[in-house]
Amino acid sequence: MKTPALALAATSVVLSAFTMPAVAAQDARFMRALDRLDPKTRLEQICDLEAMRKMSASGSAKSRVDRAKSDVITPPQHLGNTLVAKGGAYRAGGKWYQMSFTCKATPDHKSVLDFTYKTGAEIPAAKWASYGLWK
């Protein structure tokens, strides 16, 4: 069983990778950090990264997406290797917006096989703190 400190350190490494270009998913450090996470958290992290990549590449976001979280407004549903996030959020241009997605990953939760998403309304800055969001 992992200690809380180890889990926190591994999560910090993964989250810090989100500030790097999408190429970070291929980075060996990123993959080692994923290995240190429990499968449920690993699925959330790889799907959040995929959300950032897809939205930035498609131009559907207001500008480049630099953060994505599947668990902002409501917790995501874990259905085996699939994550269904109906209450997520992403940050682009210094603002947070609602999003939902369905993400299917490989059994080891290290690669995404299928990903569909919808973007939503801007989240008012007055609600950021209650959702655990930041500037």
pLDDT tens digits for range 7-38: 333 343 344 344 434 444 456 787 788 989 99
Task: Give all strands (DSSP E) within 2-81, no chain letters.
Answer: 65-69, 77-79
The whole-model pTM stands at 0.78
**Of 1-5, 97-101, 102-106, 127-131, the least confident:** 1-5
Q: Looking at the 3D structure of the chain, how many domains does it have?
A: 1
Instruction: Choose among 108, 101, 85, 111: nearest CA to 26.
Output: 111
**N- to C-terminal Cα separation, the chain:** 34
pLDDT for 61 equals 62
- The mean pLDDT value for 75-98 works out to 96
Residue 80: give the domain boundaries.
4-131
Distance from C-alpha of 22 to C-alpha of 39, rounded to nearest angstrom:
21
